Chains A and B, each alone.
Chain A
């Protein structure tokens, strides 16, 4: 097996660009102090194998580490608990060299056995991890999933500091998977001791450790003074106060009691905040790896007709919808959000043109329009957005009745082959798990997702495209990244040609912070740590 080494010779071509872009410590950063972050919902769990929501995602990131990580504030991969790695020529064997001397919060040194244990645990069906599917490319995953094996045959401990992971197929996204929370390294003894309650007493290698958790009230993270990355974190502690309405959190921020309202600026207060220069100055705006879209079920007439789907694409006034949400988004013309690698900048999308849309409908033999249903989640602003879409559709003769339901019910309807002709994805919209274009395809546009209970609500299944997607993800050579992105761009352009979706907008992130908080703006709209990257932000009022 011919290997190329990231850490040595070839590093000049491959690793250097990454190294050069790695995070530069902020010269103004001061160590010490603490911040208060608020959330409305209680934190469900801090178990990295289980946690999969908005607020615990970045919390878990600060308590645990994976083999890979991202440069703070960017979508660039960088080594985490693995100091270096090698990939075999065929892209199926990854050898990770662990960083020596990394200690868990319980004081024990992390070894290759912990890596193996962590991967076995997250893929074991009894763990019920919502992230298990991400590990599907590891050899032996299927046997784990059906319960016939208790360890992944593809994960081998070579020596205490080396792990070899064999994949059953080349997977260009594998390093991103290694940076997901689900791939965090956990100590077996702590998991065994806590059992199902590990999520309440987490033990990791992260920059912070859990110091206090009063259920329903507050969590306190204390600085891990033994953290393996030198110099960080800056903050002594981060206090998360839960159960706070966003509007109350905003009042408290104005009062100087809160540093970051985790749920953002409440929609009702958005104009007021952005209209007041003093308050607007505390807001950091950034892109988000999110797209809001309308699905059309291609298996349900008349959406089985390409002309109809294209007509709908031309009928919807996206600018107006963006206005409805106070301009907190940018209009979208393709599935990928602009900040995602693989986004096609030159593509203009379907222009808003009701007359042409009407003509297309007539071409499809539906000049008189038709009746259909638009499913939508019942929390503001989604019903209002659905009404705008309804009006636009009425403009070309399509009478869509709005089905406004609870989130879980819309998801259930989308997962049935013949129930929801159209769905507005708002409130359930796809947010990337990791910054790679493949993450927007498989479950929501690929054949794998077009199954009962799946997330491909347009039931669009194009086997040629699936093959192209697989081809793109087989390109594991980092030097061919450009080619891979081009392939993905082609895939999404082909999707737009078939028009199973109307991409509507990409939400922008508006993070509000207190004036005492310091750190580059990018840290406050970090694409992977939402709302902020706790490991790198600091406060300016410490001595």
Chain B
């Protein structure tokens, strides 16, 4: 186990290094010049060059990347070009909001997705099953921007149940978490349905029923834990999908997370922020996958990590 963990951590570090290299190179190769964004339109060529030198952007790629990396291993993500603040501070100020949104979305999609999946599996082939699967299909396909605005319009503007965007209380969290979670719940309901149907066919379920156990007991004690198993690993992978979604959802709901930060930085070519957010997101994805793998043997003793 320890050996496996070490090996995985080493792999993760390599992945992050690769991500940093690729992102840094893409930003380096960008035809747009960040220095001119900083210098503004009234700057003289000399001012532009001055700033370029101060930021070290006149150096060759290898030197620039090495500098960044040296800072990185010391925990220094640099300062934002335009805001001048420490990137680590900017991210730290916004990360809790993104994590909260992610947790909210996971809870939402699991509760909704698994419930829908179980009901659909138990009523396989019925109208309920079909309706639920159509709903989940819509959930998977609908663009988050549209879902977000729709939820906002119906539940916040028309019905007034929730605040119109913003951050702070539990009721602020509901709509953005639902927007993010609806996508996942579609996946989960479909996976849960097939997984459940698969399990319900197994001999031990028939045995359990045959020995006279109550139906709910069979479902809750025998079927459900086994059906959920393959789905747990998905949660870790979800983190990656969420990282893409938060950019949109945070914008729609005015949620002060790192997705918003990234979006604004991209528009202004604020390279240190783009790098910082990319690395933090990559870390989250790598960690999510790692956790998913580590958790599996605890749920299913048949799986051993090597």
Contacts and interface: CB of A to CB of B under 8 A. Distances in A.
A245 B165 contact: yes
A54 B55 CA distance: 25
B54 A125 contact: yes
B42 interface: yes
B131 interface: no
A257 interface: yes
A215 B93 contact: yes
B254 A145 contact: no
A466 interface: no
A214 B166 CA distance: 13
B32 A412 contact: yes
B210 interface: no
B54 A126 contact: yes
Given A128-B51, A133-B42, A215 B256 contact: yes
Interface stretch (B11-19, B227-235, B257-265): B257-265
Nearest to A126: B54
A241 interface: yes
Contact of B83 (A132, A199, A251, A433): A199
Contacts of B45: 451-454
- Chain A interface, DSSP helix/strand/loop, else mixed: loop
B75 interface: no
Nearest to A255: B164
A243 B44 contact: no
Q: Which of B31, B40, B166, B250 has the most CB of A within 10 A?
A: B40
B260 A433 contact: no
A289 interface: no
A257 B41 contact: no
B97 A216 contact: yes
B93 A133 contact: no
B46 A245 contact: no
Given A52-B40, A130-B40, A453-B45, A215 B254 contact: no
A63 B47 CA distance: 27
A1 interface: no
Contacts, number: 137
A384 interface: no
B47 A133 contact: yes
Q: Which of A196, A409, A453 has the most CB of B within 10 A?
A: A453
A128 B257 contact: no
Nearest to A141: B44
Contacts of B44: 133, 136, 145, 448
B208 interface: no
B118 to A, nearest CB: 36
Contacts of B85: 196-197, 199-200
Interface in B1-46: 30-34, 36-46
B50 A145 contact: yes
B167 interface: yes
Nearest to B93: A215
A241 B164 CA distance: 12
Interface residues of A, number: 56
A373 interface: no
Interface residues of B, number: 54
B99 interface: no
Nearest to B36: A453
Given A215-B94, A451-B45, A45 B82 contact: yes
A359 B260 CA distance: 52
Given A42-B264, A411-B32, A125 B254 contact: no
A215 to B, nearest CB: 4
Contacts of B164: 248, 251-252, 255, 257
Contacts of A248: 152, 164-165, 252-254
Interface string B54-95: 100000000000000000000000011011110000100110
B21 to A, nearest CB: 22
Contacts of A131: 40, 42
B149 interface: yes
Contact of B251 (A44, A50, A245, A454): A245
Interface string A156-167: 000000000000
A245 B254 contact: yes
Interface in A358-414: 406-409, 411-413
A65 B166 CA distance: 32
Contacts of B299: none
Contacts of B254: 241-245, 248
Given A131-B40, A251-B164, A408-B32, 12 more contacts: A44-B82, A133-B44, A241-B166, A243-B250, A243-B251, A254-B157, A408-B36, A409-B30, A409-B31, A411-B36, A433-B42, A453-B36
10 contacts: A42-B260, A44-B268, A45-B83, A128-B51, A133-B44, A197-B85, A245-B252, A406-B32, A411-B32, A453-B45
The 3 closest A-B pairs by CB, nearest first: A130-B40, A408-B32, A216-B256
